[in-house]
Amino acid sequence: MADSATTTLRRVALIGNPNVGKTTLFNLLTGMRQKVGNYPGVTVERKVGRLDGDPPIEIIDLPGSYSLSPKSADERIAYDVLMGHLPGEAVPDLVVCVVDASNLERNLYLVSQVMDTGLPTLVALNMTDAAEEAGLSIDTKKLEEELGVPVIPMVASRNEGVGKLKYRMRQQELPPTAERQWDIMPVVDEGLPYLVDLLTEHVHEEGRRIEVLQCLTNDAMLAYWKDRAPAFHAAILEERSRLEGLKAPYQQSEIMGRYNWISPVVARVVSRSRGDSEPTLSDRIDAVLTHRVAGPVLFGLLLLLIFQAVFTWATPAMDLIEAGVGNLGDLVRANAPASMFTDLVVDGVIAGVGNVAVFLPQILLLFFFLGLMEDTGYMARSAFIMDRIMSKVGLSGGSVVPLLSSFACAIPGIMAARTLANPRDRLITIMVAPLMSCSARLPVYTLFIAAFLPTGAVLGIFTWQGVAMFSMYLLGTVMAFVAAFVLRRFVFTKGDSSFFAMELPPYRMPRFRQIFWRLIDRSKAFVVRAGKIIFGMSIILWVLATFPQSDAPEAIVAEQAALSEEKAERVEGLVNGGVVRAEAEALIENEFTDEALAIEARLAAWQVERSFIGRMGKFIEPVMQPLGFDWKISAGIISAFAAREVIISALATIYSVGDVEEDSPLLRDQLKADTYADGSPVYTPLVAVSLLVFFVLALQCMSTLAIARRETNSWKWPAVMWLYMTGLAYLFSLVIYQGGQALGWG
Ligand SMILES: Nc1nc2c(ncn2[C@@H]2O[C@H](COP(=O)(O)OP(=O)(O)OP(=O)(O)O)[C@@H](O)[C@H]2O)c(=O)[nH]1
Ligand SMILES: [Mg+2]
């Protein structure tokens, strides 16, 4: 409870089943824009915001949970906050239970548990619009009497009823602690008082009984007390064996006891205007979209369409940004004094960051489609459709959402694995999530597919390049399944098989305003990320590509000397012929521009080759050559271990530092033009495919390693993840390049 110093700052926790509108409400109360989505398990960590006013209120948005007997890591957070298990954090002053009115019976289970914690409780009866649509009407007054706590009907998605909730939350007088109204079977009840007493020093009075009930049936909960209250821990184990001896169904006792109370309450307060057997619109849509055969086929087609669209629709915007980046570089070079700093800005920063920014339109399109899938409710169906396929590799449909989210970025994908109750499934999902092609790979795919793979239409609506793009995603996904199968079969062999149950939310019209803001947040996140990592890396790469400055080789010095000698002779010749010297010099300068530039280009290329980055590339080139990669690509791959997109900055910097052209040619044209000393092209379609496959499979992202470390609480699994993925990438590229060469494709 709040002490005198913090009485003014009231802390209110929002708790409720998954997908009932908690975060929608949280955003309305705090003005924040936390992620909302129409599938269970969007919020996987607690978020704190503030509702200003008198008293100011701190609002805590919690992950969804079906009960206070947490099954998964995210549900555990809600329990720990309410029970005050988080070090240095007091229990909330008030709990707002957000309830889905169209699913009252199931939601009241958690409400009754929250009421049993003894914390002041309010019920936000949300989604009353969905209840109406389903032909249900709820007598709110009566429900309030039945529960003994205030009930506020609302439609959070339309900002209706939120004012009343704010008013109740601010009321000086907190709602009284609700009386417990359900009974547990006597044989269990008689053992509770002794166990409750054993928690006197550890849990606030009202919360002791529910803590005992959780520990009686939930091993993870009991484990929390093993060292903290050994007497209590032992007494619970004793009580369990007493009840087992009596063959008392104590595991179900709480559920039975609560529903014996809840069901009649619901029957008294809910009236139905039509039979619940009538199929709803969602049911009719699901008949097609979750059909045994049509379901997976439609899902596959949808993904193919998404990647085709991402590849083609973004092109106009990308060309625009590309031209803009080029012009910006030229503008700076034309107006700034020729100096190292100007080179840094143009060849380092603008080339490095600019060449990644080009891909923002594609990334936004990808997020737009993922946002549509989430908001409509189709994301949950994809988990259901894929469950059968996933179970073949030892995972469950519950892993689909984390894996699909990894198409955006592996970080939220790995965090979304918190919703998996089975620890083994969770670890396997974390270990394979980075194989799903994330948006950071998109720039690499697009650059090399657009530059080196054939265009041309396939089946009328698709293009070869669109199909190539899709194949990269498909390869990553298939390899994620294969890796999951291998990990399940040979590494994580212990543990029981997972049981997957997911509530399919009703289909909802996508809320474009929400998707729009999510895209804004995403672009900001992209720019910040580009700003931080890629900007930083671009400067580092420029320095590595520029230093150490080596003296020009004799051959080039000789060439330059020969050229200026010839030019001087020509000028003299013209001056002798009566041409004004300045004019003669300008004429000759012009005539020899290409030759002079060619020599400079060779000098610049020579310089880059002997720079730090050149040496790094050359150092690993022998290892990477069997994959078809030269030292530039190898240097790019090293730097891309910071973040995948950095290979583009690295190549852009290496080629532009190595480029002396006035106007900066497009990176892909520079790649196409590059040749080995023997004149053979550095890049061929085979090299491009080998490089693409390397990027599909390699783990080149420091942030992913960092989040995997946090979520697995060890460096062991991130290290295993990095090793197996890099090994896979090397092996696949080697087979593709060597195989392609053997078949004469290279
Ligand atoms: N029909 C209807 N939809 C709503 C209402 N409130 C929220 N939604 C929608 O319900 C979905 C879930 O909303 P969220 O706020 O993400 O739900 P949540 O409880 O935070 O979900 P988790 O974080 O997954 O536990 C979104 O698509 C919202 O737009 C409402 O009152 N009526
Ligand atoms: Mg949420």
171-185: burial string, b at 16+ Cβ within 10 Å, e else: eeeebebbebebebb
State residue 1's pLDDT score. 42
Burial 434-460 (b: 16+ CB within 10 A, else e): bbbbbbbbbbbbbbbbbbbbeeeeeee
Cα gap 222→218, rounded to integer Å = 6
pLDDT tens by residue, 16-74: 998 899 989 998 999 887 777 777 777 777 888 988 887 889 999 988 888 888 777 77
Q: Which 3 state secondary structure label does DSSP give 174?
A: coil
Q: What residues contact residue 192 under an 8 Å CB cut-off, 6+ apart?
A: 184, 209, 212, 213
Note if the bond before 55 is cis, omega within 30 degrees.
Answer: yes
Tell me which ligand sits closest to the C-alpha of residue 503. 1
Query: In this predicted model, what pLDDT tens digit does every residue of 555-593 receive, in sequence order?
Result: 888 888 888 888 888 888 988 889 888 888 888 888 877
pTM beyond cutoff 0.85: no
Q: Whose CA is nearest to atom 14 of ligand 1?
A: 21
> Does residue 292 have a pLDDT over 90?
no
Q: Which ligand is nearest to the CA of 127?
A: 1
pLDDT at 480: 93
Q: What secondary structure, in 3-state letters, does 677-713 show?
A: CCCCECCCHHHHHHHHHHHHHCCCEHHHHHHHHHHHC
63 phi/psi in degrees, rounded to 5: -60, 155
Q: What 3-state DSSP class applies to 35?
A: coil
List CB contacts of 721: < 8 A, sequence separation 6 or more: 430, 431, 434, 699, 705, 708
Give yes or no for residue 628 having a pLDDT over 90: yes
Q: Cα(560) to centroid of ligand 1, in Å? A: 70
Residue 262 or 439, more confident = 262
Ordered by where they begin, the domains of the chain are 4-170 (3.40.50.300), 186-248 (no CATH)
> Quick check: CB of 290 below 6 Å from ligand 1?
no
Q: Candidates 100, 157, 503: which one to mutate for ligand 1, based on the most atoms within 8 Å of Cβ?
A: 157
Q: What tokens appear for 382 in the block?
A: 């994809």
Amino acid present at 578:
G
Cα separation values, 533 from 324, 548, 590, 643, 706, Å: 22, 23, 41, 7, 14
- Residue position matching structure tokens 């899709």: 470
Q: Which residue has the tokens 């019209």?
A: 509
Closest CA to 101 of 156, 62, 174: 156
Mean pLDDT of the chain: 84
* Amino acid type, 135: G
Ion ligand 2 — residues with CB < 5 Å: 22-23, 42-43
Average pLDDT rounded to a whole number, residues 645-654 = 79
Assigned token pair, 82: 């309410």
CA 569 – CA 551 distance, rounded (Å): 27
Confidence of residue 241 (pLDDT cuts 50, 70, 90): very high
Query: Which of 28, 32, 38, 39 to mutate to test ligand 1, by most ligand atoms within 8 A of the CB atom?
Result: 38
Query: Is the confidence at residue 426, as pLDDT, over 90?
Result: no
Mutate to test the pocket of ligand 1, among 28, 30, 36, 512 (most ligand atoms within 8 A of CB): 36
Mean pLDDT of 434-450: 88
Distance in angstroms (rounded) separating the CA atoms of residues 22 and 127: 11
Looking at 270-293, list the stretches that DSSP marks H as alpha helix, in order from N- to C-terminal side: 281-289
Percent with pLDDT over 70 in the chain: 94
Is 508 near ligand 1, meaning CB less than 6 Å away? Answer: yes
Q: Decide: residue 281, CB within 10 A, 0-12 exposed, 13-18 middle, 19+ buried.
A: exposed
At 279, which helix (H) or strand (E)? none
Q: What is the pLDDT of residues 98-125, one digit of tens each?
A: 999 999 999 999 999 999 888 899 999 9
Q: d(Cα 302, Cα 703) in Å, to the nearest integer?
A: 29
List CB contacts of 99: < 8 A, sequence separation 6 or more. 16, 17, 20, 107, 108, 111, 123, 124, 125, 126
Helices (H) and strands (E) in the chain, counts: 36, 10
Give the residue among 687, 694, 695, 692 at the shortest CA–CA distance from 730.
694
- Position 262 scores a pLDDT of 93
Which ligand has its closest atom nearest to the C-alpha of 74? 1
pLDDT (average), residues 293-315:
83
Rounded to an integer, what distance in angstroms lies between the CA atom of residue 29 and that of residue 52? 9
Q: Look at 283-292, 362-371, 495-504, 535-544 and tell me which has the smallest mean pLDDT.
A: 495-504
Confidence (pLDDT) at 589: 81
**The pairing of beta strand 270-272 with beta strand 136-138:** antiparallel
CB 161 less than 6 A from any atom of ligand 1: no
Residue 643 phi, psi dihedral angles, 5° rounding: -165, 140
**b/e 724-735 (16+ beta carbons within 10 angstroms → b):** bbbebbbebbbe
Residue 3 above 60 pLDDT? no
500: confidence class by pLDDT, cuts 50, 70, 90: low
549 or 380, which is more confident: 380
Task: Report the range of poorest mean pLDDT among 213-217, 251-255, 457-461, 529-533.
Answer: 529-533
What is residue 2's predicted lDDT score, i.e. its pLDDT?
45
Separation between Cα atoms, residue 416 and residue 627, nearest integer Å: 35
CB-ligand 1 contact for 27 (6 Å cutoff): no
203-223 residues labelled b (16+ CB within 10 A) or e (exposed): bbebbbbbbbbbbbbbebbbe
66-72-78 Cα angle (round to 5): 60
For ligand 1, is residue 571 a contact (CB within 6 Å)?
no
Task: List the single range of 42-46, 120-124, 318-322, 634-638 with lowest mean pLDDT.
Answer: 42-46
Average pLDDT over residues 123-141: 92
Query: Closest Cα partner for 640 from 411, 349, 441?
Result: 441
The amino acid occupying position 33 is R
Q: How far away, in angstroms, is 302 Cα from ligand 1 center?
A: 24
Average pLDDT, integer, range 245-271: 90
